[in-house]
Chains A and B, each alone.
Chain A
Amino acid sequence: MSYSNPVSQFPFLSSPELAPKTMPSTIEAQGSGFNRLFAVGFGLTLTVGLVLGGLTLRGMAAGTPQDFNSRFADALPIRQSLIQTVDALRYRFLGSSDDVVQLGRDGWLYLTQDVQQPVNATAAWQTRAAAVIRLSIALQARGVKLVLAVSPSKARIYPEHLLGTTLSSDMQAGYAGFTNTLERGGVSVVHLETALGAAAKKQQVYYRTDTHWNMAGARVAARALAQTVRKLGIDLPSASFKTSKASRQERSGDLIHLMSLDALQSPWRPASDIEATEQTKSLEAANQGLLGAPSTEVVLVGTSYCLRGNFHGALQESLGTTVLNLAKEGSGFERRMSAYLNDPAFKNTPPKILIWEFNERFLYQPIDADLPNLNPSTVAIHQSK
């Protein structure tokens, strides 16, 4: 398989010296003083490495030989510092971030998942919509009114800060498609996209460096939600609330955390948001239930969005009634709802209104992951008892 190389035609590419020899070897020293430098530098690196390796071995968790490499890497004492250094250099000099975060214009950050084209997104949200309608009917039969609030992704509300990308076509249509389907199925839906989209023209409603809505956004979302709940015409015990505001301070968002840059300062990471935190407290304990426990007339199940920006407080204040907040970080589409439906609290004292919040990104995820847990028969079984 030899071939004469027309070296003369393009000497830059194929120099005769580098034409294939019979197994050339490059081990021969090139007579450079650098070899000694490399020997010493590399040797010192290995020596320091060995000391680090020894320290790492002492702190290693037990496991199998197969996972030795990952356990060793996890136990490396300087691992976090190395990650931070590399990520800071990437951000500062290459304008890059970890794959889970997208850098936008003007210091805006986005979750990559929120702008990626999902697989079979339409089929996923349609299946979920059908499941929610079935659940809503089952709850209605038990005298519980379901109110759905799909928190829109930041990329939907602020597409203008995206850099070199847009919301994917399936996602563009997904939010309205899902909420319209639910409304046709008789489910009460809060149009948070409309409310937040309109508010975003006047004020910032999402954090720049976080996936969540900020204080202003949470207030807008809470008011829109309260408006939908009031339209149901259900009598609820009244309560008074007072909101206090703290002084303005820096807030480093979860997207900066995902970039492993929390401990650094600008310009080695995007600048933090500035905010004055708000806190809403009840002025009386009159509407509390037996033994001082909160009333369960209105229950909120949802994701981290219900735990940010004083959303819960703003919702209670807007509704003028106490809301039991059962939201939990990392709840996905249905985990919190499923847990609540299977809880004795729901079985014994079901609420009049059940508010279900989740982020729109969960609409498009593969359906086999979570839907089996969202079984309307759970509600029906409770009803029969």
Chain B
Amino acid sequence: MSFTVYSFLLLFLPVSLALYFLTPARLRVVPLLLCSWVFYGLWNPWFLALLIAVTASAYTFGRLISSATSPSARRGLLTVGVVLNLAALAYFKYAQFGLETLNGLFNLFQLAPLNASLQGLLPVGLSFYVFNAVAYLVDVSRKEVTASSDPLRFAASFAFFASLLNGPLLRQAQIAPQLLAPQVSLQGFGTGAMRFMVGFCKKLLIADTLSPLVQGCFASSEPSSAANVWLGGLAYTVQLYYDFSGYSDMAIGVAAMLGIRLPENFNHPYTALSITEFWTRWHLSLSSFLKRYVYFSLGGNRAGDTRTYLNLLATMLIGGLWHGANWTFVLWGAWNGGFLMLERFLKDRFKRPAPPAWYALPKMMAVVILGRFFFISSDAGQALEKFAAAFGLRGWELTHNAALAVTFERLTALGVGLALCYIAPQWHKLEFRIATLSRSLLLPVFWLALAVVAARSASPFLYFRF
């Protein structure tokens, strides 16, 4: 079930809220867990079985690690627990990719390929909850959190439907304590409702409106061109932000209605003036996770410059691979890691002041858009073809089908989307009357977006495939 389908909006959400609020505060974890499992089970009952298995494994190993007396036993149990969780991820997400890579190597050495297929359904949200489980086990082994002794609360925090599918990635320490006594209030409900409605409008009115433009610009029915890939790349960059941040807003909003605080996931990323800054503003919960559990584990910046650069690159490569089982994501990680290394090197070496914004901002956006070519391509060849097109090697003008996809409605969505990226950080500085007018319009615009759901074919969140 997704946040933007009618069965969620007209049935699941009101019923879940009613059950939650009608249950005494100390027992609210029960309807929360049941609703979360129903929410996930409606995708596929087998997915629910996997979620329960991962939860049970994390809980059990958390208890075992906590009760281990020696550091070596703790380390051993942590390794087994982490490997078990990652095995689920490896099987469902990376097995086919590994097999194809292996067969590619066999082909290179003229050996017979393995005749097998490990292509299966990827359970939605798997990457998110497996990472949550791994983070929990590492935190318990580092004694940064106490192992949960309340299986019900643990399972509810683990399966919390608001953040289960697309994050924000949660650490147990951030959510489990809140389930003991959620801070429910009318004010909090109103703030959550506002946040949910904002996210819903971002997804339905901007991200989904841009989807046909992106598809038209990157259609495989005709050769690409510079105008195609730059317009499509810009539209995709805006679409991805409004899609993913829209989901995060809705998740944070639903949680707030229930009296639970979730961490922020975005902080106006397209206002960043460098790739380094961009990664302190985009998908914050993943960046934080990678920094905490990968970059620091590799030694961070404590082992000399060269090692720091390599750690940055390795962290981004793992971050890329987390997004999907494809070499394009590895290349995307390398692209970002490369720029992080370059910026750090230039800063350390020359210690020059940061470039002015009129230069830095378009440069940052260009690097982000070019990086998206890896993100949106199904293989490396396709991505390189987009790079060739971007630099004019395939012609400059919009192709026939791409021109068909350019409509006033989509250009308006693109313009509004881009403008809001830069106006939103200044929201608190707006004239009182403008701010009041904007807030007054939120409910009617939300109702319009609710109607739009009927007029569009179901459009899943882009990050569901990760």
Contacting pair A34 B273 (CB below 8 A): no
- With A17-B428, A37-B190 already in contact, the answer to whether A25 and B261 are too (CB < 8 A) is yes
Q: SS class of chain B's interface: helix, strand, loop or mixed? A: helix
Within 8 A of A (CB), among B208-259: 212, 220-222, 252, 256
- Please state if B276 and A1 are interface contacts (CB–CB under 8 Å): yes
Known: A13-B361, A169-B400. A32 touches B439 (CB 8 A): yes
In the complex, A86 Cα to B15 Cα: how many Å?
A: 27
Give B66 Cβ to nearest chain A Cβ, in Å.
25
Which of B5, B271, B291 is in CB contact (< 8 Å) with A73?
B5
Complex-state Cα separation, A90 to B208, whole angstroms: 14
| CB pair B14 A47 closer than 8 Å | yes
CA distance A69 to B18 in the complex (A): 21
- Interface with A: B100-108, B388-396, B402-410, which one? B402-410
Instruction: Tell me how far the C-beta of B408 lies from the nearest C-beta in chain A, rounded to whole angstroms.
Output: 5
CB interface residues, A 1-34, toward B, < 8 Å: 1-6, 9-10, 12-15, 17-18, 20, 23-30, 32, 34
Stretch among A48-56, A319-327, A332-340, A371-379 lining the B interface: A48-56
B434 to chain A, nearest CB (A): 14
CB distance from B302 to the nearest CB of A (A): 14
Is the C-beta of B193 less than 8 angstroms from some C-beta in chain A? yes
Cβ of A87 under 8 Å from chain B: yes
Are A13 and B273 in contact, with the CB atoms below 8 A? yes
Docked Cα-Cα span, A72 to B281, in Å, equals 38
Q: A36-B186, A69-B5, A119-B221 are in contact. Are A86 and B451 (CB under 8 A)?
A: yes
Taking a contact as CB atoms under 8 Å apart, the answer to whether A6 and B280 are in contact is no
Q: Within 8 Å of chain A (Cβ to Cβ): is B357? A: yes
State which of A3, A70, A79, A165 has its C-beta within 8 Å of the C-beta of B276: A3
| Shortest Cβ gap from B19 to chain A (Å) | 12
A102 to chain B: which residues have CB within 8 Å? 404
From B37-45, B54-62, B143-151, B374-382, the one touching the partner chain is B37-45
Q: Does A194 contact B (CB under 8 A)?
A: no
Chain A 95-120 interface 0/1 with B at a Cβ cutoff of 8 Å (1 = within) = 11001001000000000100111110
Q: Write out the residue numbers on chain A whose beta carbons fall within 8 Å of the beta carbon of B287.
A: 1
Find out whether the CB atom of A42 lies under 8 angstroms from the CB atom of B271.
no
B261 touches A27 (CB 8 A): yes
Q: Provide the B251-280 mask, 1 if CB < 8 A to any CB of A, else 0.
A: 010001000011110011001111011011
Chain A residue numbers with a CB within 8 Å of B361 are 10, 13
Contact among B276, B277, B357, B401 with A116 in the assembled complex (CB-CB below 8 Å): B401
Report yes or no: A29 in contact with B354, Cβ–Cβ below 8 A.
no
Instruction: List chain A residues, Cβ under 8 A from B273.
Output: 5-6, 10, 13-14
Bound together, the chains give a CA A130 to CA B320 distance in angstroms of 49
**Given A27-B192, A72-B6: A42 touches B280 (CB 8 Å cut-off):** no
A82 at the interface (CB under 8 A from B): yes
| A267 CB-CB contact with B under 8 Å | no
Are A29's CB and B190's CB within 8 A?
Answer: yes
Nearest to B429 among chain A residues (CB) is A15
Whether a CB of chain A sits under 8 angstroms from the CB of B11 is yes
Q: Is A45 engaged at the interface, CB distance under 8 Å to the other chain?
A: yes
The reply to whether A50 and B400 contact each other, CB–CB distance below 8 Å, is no
Task: Give the residues in chain B near A53, CB-CB below 8 Å.
Answer: 6-7, 10-11, 14
Classify chain A: how many residues form its interface, as a range: 35 or more
Inside 8 A of B44's CB, which chain A residues have their CB? Answer: 65-66
Q: A4, A69, A87, A164: which contacts B42 (Cβ < 8 A)?
A: A69
Residues B354 and A26 in contact, CB atoms below 8 Å apart: no
Q: Which of A12, A47, A56 touches B422 (beta carbons < 8 Å)?
A: A12
Tell whether, in the assembled complex, residue A26 and residue B426 are in contact, meaning their CB atoms are under 8 Å apart: no
Instruction: Tell me if B295 counts as interface (CB < 8 A to partner A).
Output: yes
In the complex, the answer to whether B189 meets A39 with C-beta atoms within 8 Å is yes
Evaluate contact between A23 and B288: CB separation under 8 angstroms. yes
Q: A34 contacts B452, CB within 8 Å?
A: no
A14 to B357, CA, bound (A): 10
Q: Does A46 contact B (CB under 8 A)?
A: yes
- Which chain A residues border B5 with CB–CB below 8 Å? 69, 72-73
Chain A residue numbers with a CB within 8 Å of B353 are 6
Is there an interface contact between B264 and A23, defined as CB atoms closer than 8 Å? Answer: yes
Q: Which residues of A contact B412 (CB under 8 A)?
A: 94
- Provided the pairs A13-B361, A15-B425 are in contact, do residues A26 and B264 lie with their beta carbons within 8 angstroms? yes
Partner of A96, one of B42, B408, B425: B408
A49 & B263 in contact (Cβ 8 Å cutoff): no
- Check if A82 sits within 8 Å of B439, measured CB to CB: no
Q: A30-B191, A38-B193 are in contact. Are A20 and B14 (CB under 8 A)?
A: no
Question: Which listed residue (B191, B274, B428, B455) contacts A83, Cβ 8 A?
Answer: B455
B111 within 8 Å of A (CB atoms): no
Closest A-B pairs by Cβ, 8 of them: A10-B357, A35-B190, A39-B190, A42-B193, A53-B10, A82-B454, A96-B409, A3-B276
